[in-house]
């Protein structure tokens, strides 16, 4: 993720990474997801996907969300 590479850096980069980690935590625990269409990663100038890696998401009522009452 590009947070600036020159003399100035993003002041919120650690907060942004924490938010992404929390989002991914809830995504993998509470949702089933699959690729909506094939996409091929490229790595230059940074890792990205031409189509943005679209996914299809479906909520699952698993043990974790039942125990915590989580709705996210």
Site of interaction with ligand HEM (CB under 6 A):
1-4, 6, 8-12, 15-16
Residue carrying structure tokens 């990474």: 17
Q: What's the closest the beta carbon of residue 33 comes to ligand HEM, in angstroms?
A: 20
Query: Which CB sits closer to ligand HEM, 20 or 60?
Result: 20
Q: Are strands 55-59 and 31-35 parallel, antiparallel or unpaired?
A: antiparallel
Query: Which CB sits closer to ligand HEM, 20 or 72?
Result: 20
Query: Which CB sits closer to ligand HEM, 3 or 62?
Result: 3
Element (H, E) at 53: none
Cα 36 from Cα 49, distance rounded (Å)? 13
């Amino acid at each position: 993720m590009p947070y600036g590479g020159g003399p100035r850096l993003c002041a919120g980069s650690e907060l942004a990474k924490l938010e992404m980690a929390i989002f991914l935590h809830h995504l993998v625990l509470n949702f089933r997801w699959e690729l909506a269409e094939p996409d091929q990663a490229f790595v230059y100038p940074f890792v990205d996907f031409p189509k943005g890696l679209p996914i299809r998401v479906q909520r699952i009522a698993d043990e974790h969300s039942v125990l915590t009452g989580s709705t996210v």
